[in-house]
Structure 1
Amino acid sequence: MTKQILEQQIAYYSARANEYDEWFYRLGRYNRGEEINQHWFQEVDIVKQALQQVGETEKILELACGTGIWTQELLKIGKRITAIDASEEVISINRCKLNSPNITYQKVDLFTWKPDAEYDFVFFSFWLSHVPPELLESFLAKVYKSVRVGGKLFIIDSRFEPTSTANNHILHNDGSIYKRRKLNDGQEFDIVKIFYQPDELQKHLEKVGFIADVNMTEHYFIYAHATKY
């Protein structure tokens, strides 16, 4: 089951590549009206400000870099970025969008990824929620290995909030880690989606060795800033 779901996730994000930004920028099926959209972007700004407080950084590793929404934020603080994703389609969009000589891209499945370097700062957004529980500790252990001593980790992910998804998706808080997602053309995929509470996420990060501080915005986002000592 896990193998099939992970294969579907990669297929889903490859197929979704050209419409992924609609979700973040609240366009099309994700437009929830002016008031709700405003709440979304206000909370995005809170998380962006927290990320910028990390300050100027030499070497950054971005896991599951996607279409570049957060890669462009990392360019504001990082001199060199290694951006990894399993989908060639999203990497292509990211590369064309940012066109930066300071970014090196790698097409790698993060479940088979093996860290081969240490970085000053490791970042990933809206990815941890897609890691099956049985693979979480081993994945975070690899993340820990990729951060140098004294280096930082920053994670952004979703809170459970029905208005965060498309208006033709009904988000059930039924305890299931599997969610069905539909694309604009009607294609459907099953993916893993886990919504973490702050104390739970902090516990997972501390278990592999990080010192972590976990916060939430009012409705939409959970984010963590961690250090390797």
Structure 2
Amino acid sequence: MIEYYARRATEYEKVYAKPERQADLQVLRDKCRSLFAGRDVLEISCGTAYWTECFVSTANSILATDINPETLDVARSKTLDAAKVEFATADSLALPDLRRDFDAGFAGFWWSHVPLEKLHAFLTGFHARLKPGALVAFIDNRFVEGSSTPVHRRDGAGNTYQIRRLADGSSHEVLKNFPTPEELRMTLDPFSGKLEITELEYFWMAVHQLG
């Protein structure tokens, strides 16, 4: 997974150019700008900072982390307000003590790459880096026949995988899960004081407040 996204860094954002997804993406961008207005945000697995760029205008501050130096190089090349945005290398499955007070957390298109057997531990670690009562948002894909890459296989734990091909001709097996609203609710309810799940045609968004 790490190698795949490192090699994909320069073509990372092409997926956001699919014409049929533009209306959904505009809804999500607007929601993020509204949700994070005036907040200090911890964004994990930020990739090339596509979503960072979407809500930097309204957020108070953003610490955006990723495990890949290659994607962070692309992120840092963008013209973002340096007084608001800081980038750092970090493993989203083992976040260090960041020694900052965050009243919001965000992960765009990361949930689907977390093995089901590690999901609870990931959420526990992520939420531990946020203040009590913080607002947390996750965005990810819904599986849509004809638009999504087909599922290649399912493992014994229930994780699903796709075969992804890059512009350099290489093929990669990538873990990609597609949770139902019921599965999202069951997973997040133990952490939430309030939970709202939005299903669009191509994406879902889960927003909750830490209990």
Does TM, normalized by the shorter one, top 0.5? Answer: yes
Give the alignment of 1:218-229 within 5 angstroms.
219-229=201-211
Would you say 1:52 and 2:6 are equivalent positions?
no
CA contact (8 A) 2:152 2:163 kept: no
Give the alignment of 1:203-214 within 5 angstroms.
203-214=186-197
More helix by share: 1
Identity %: 27
Any stretches of 5+ residues in structure 2 without a counterpart?
Answer: none
CA contact (8 A) 1:214 1:223 kept: yes
Superposition deviation, residue 74 in structure 1:
2.2
- Structure 2 equivalent of residue 81 of structure 1: 62
Superposition deviation, residue 210 in structure 1:
4.8
- 1:160-203 alpha-carbon deviations (Å, 9 max, x no partner): 013444xxx54468665122211112111112110011121121
- Structure 2 equivalent of residue 110 of structure 1: 92
- Aligned match for 1:123, one of 91, 102, 106: 106
CA distance in 1, matches of 2:25, 2:153: 23
- Structure 2 equivalent of residue 32 of structure 1: none
The DSSP-based 3-state class of the residue aligned with 1:147 is coil
- Aligned match for 1:18, one of 10, 16, 23: 10
CA distance in 1, matches of 2:196, 2:42: 20
Would you say 1:135 and 2:118 are equivalent positions?
yes
Any stretches of 5+ residues in structure 1 without a counterpart?
Answer: 1-8, 27-36
- Structure 1 equivalent of residue 24 of structure 2: 43
Query: Structure 1 stretch 178-187 or stretch 15-24: which is displaced more?
Result: 178-187
Would you say 1:62 and 2:46 are equivalent positions?
no
Q: Normalising by the residue count of structure 2, what TM-score does the alignment of the two structures yield? A: 0.89
CA distance in 1, matches of 2:193, 2:163: 32
Would you say 1:157 and 2:140 are equivalent positions?
yes
CA contact (8 A) 1:137 1:204 kept: yes
CA distance in 1, matches of 2:94, 2:80: 27
Closer, same or farther: CA 176–135 of 1 in aligned 2, 3 Å: closer
Letter in 2 for 1:222: W
Count of matched residue positions in the alignment of Structure 1 and Structure 2: 206
Would you say 1:179 and 2:180 are equivalent positions?
no
- 1:52-84 alpha-carbon deviations (Å, 9 max, x no partner): 231522311110111111011120221211010
CA contact (8 A) 1:86 1:110 kept: yes
Structure 1 stretches of 4+ with a deviation exceeding 6 A read: none
- Structure 2 equivalent of residue 195 of structure 1: 178
Letter in 1 for 2:7: A
CA distance in 1, matches of 2:47, 2:101: 21
CA contact (8 A) 1:115 1:142 kept: no
Query: Structure 1 stretch 112-121 or stretch 13-22: which is displaced more?
Result: 112-121
